[in-house]
Amino acid sequence: MPLQIPKGYRNILGSAEDTERAIKAVKDMFQDNLSAQLALLRVTAPMVVLSGTGLNDDLNGVERPVAFPIRDMDDSRAEVVHSLAKWKRVKLAQMGVKPGRGIYTDMNALRPDEELDNIHSIYVDQWDWEKVIAREQRNEDFLKKTVRRIYEAIKVTENKLYVEFPQIEPVLPEEIFFVHAEELLKMYPGMTAKERENAVAKEHKAVFVMGIGGPLSDGKPHDGRAADYDDWSTVTAEGYAGLNGDLLLWNPVIESAFEVSSMGIRVDAEALRRQLELRGEQWKEGLMYHRMLLAGELPYTIGGGIGQSRLCMFLLRKAHIGEIQSSVWPEDMRRLCREHDMELM
């Protein structure tokens, strides 16, 4: 069982009541900070989408969605969302939102193929957000500017949390470090992608790794990414172009790089065709979402997801995501966690 037991771990918040109060404080503060930083309006989002529309997030392309027939719709198949990466862009088009503004929502998903450990659960809760941008803002500088705003929202939340719960001392650095996945490969030769993330996160404490999804110079992607929402960009003769990435924090409790957000500038028609061809998924061009994008019916956007339980776990110095969210866990994992002051909900 891939479970980490931090040496000498203890729940610094004490009671279950204090933990619940702290979770609420983090969620209330952060979504207000995020909304202010990025000019986002909260909207209501679906838990299910219809199969065959292309709206669901395919993640790495192998994860199975929870699916079922709808009796009153002639047994049409519906799927519990993996994320709302593509649904949000359609919503922005329907709302007619102009560049400079966007939306966020509470996203609740089920991912039954997740490997259960300290940071993974079959239940996923995120602040999913999406913002309309101008075509000329589809560049690395704008991506970095947006990442800095999100990081500022996290830092402000950590500092405010310290006022209410002084046992939780701030640990985040003033600035976030940016690195392209190809640069990371060259910085730490001979390491796996996860080992490279651990090394750079341990050194810089807060890192944004760009250019995730496309093949690097060793022929492998840094990590998996669906071909039809983030623009991976490529490693070119002129240098590294990265229009997406992961926000990693160094988690001092489990002593590991800790992903709290995946985000990026979304594909335009050209990038969609290029990335679908790289994956051999040109058949998706016939799906509803992809037809809309190729026909120019969707706005240019930037967006991503920020893990609610993940962020709470980090800020509240918890060792297991089950100390934050109520989910299902193997009984032997529950027993082992209980023996080490990790009480899973």
Catalytic residue among 246, 266, 317, 323: 246
For the beta carbon of residue 277, count every other beta carbon within 10 angstroms: 12
Residue type, 55: L
282 has catalytic annotation: no
User: CB–CB of 61/226 below 8 Å?
Assistant: yes
Please report the DSSP string for 153-212 in residue order.
Answer: HHHHHHHHHHHH-TTS-----SS-EEEEHHHHHHHSTT--HHHHHHHHHHHHSEEEEE--
Q: How far apart are CA 200 and CA 203, in angstroms?
A: 5
User: CB–CB of 101/39 below 8 Å?
Assistant: yes
117 has catalytic annotation: no
Q: Which two tokens stand for residue 218?
A: 């060793």
141 has catalytic annotation: no
259 has catalytic annotation: yes
175 has catalytic annotation: no
Catalytic residue among 57, 79, 158, 183: 57
User: CB–CB of 182/216 below 8 Å?
Assistant: yes
Catalytic residue among 137, 262, 275, 308: 262
Q: How far apart are CA 222 and CA 233, in angstroms?
A: 13
Which residue in the block uniquely carries the two structure tokens 């990435």? Answer: 245
Q: How far apart are CA 132 and CA 299, in angstroms?
A: 6
Q: Which helix (DSSP H) or strand (DSSP E) does residue 301 occupy?
A: strand 301-307
Catalytic residue among 83, 126, 309, 325: 126
Q: Rounded to 5 degrees, what are φ and ψ at 257?
A: -65, 140
User: CB–CB of 289/227 below 8 Å?
Assistant: no
Catalytic residue among 225, 259, 275, 310: 259
246 has catalytic annotation: yes
CA-based R_g, the chain, Å: 20
Q: How far apart are CA 108 and CA 332, in angstroms?
A: 26
Catalytic residue among 111, 138, 225, 266: 111
As to burial, measured by CB atoms within 10 angstroms (0-12 exposed, 13-18 middle, 19+ buried), residue 282 is exposed
Active site residues: 57, 111, 126, 246, 259, 262
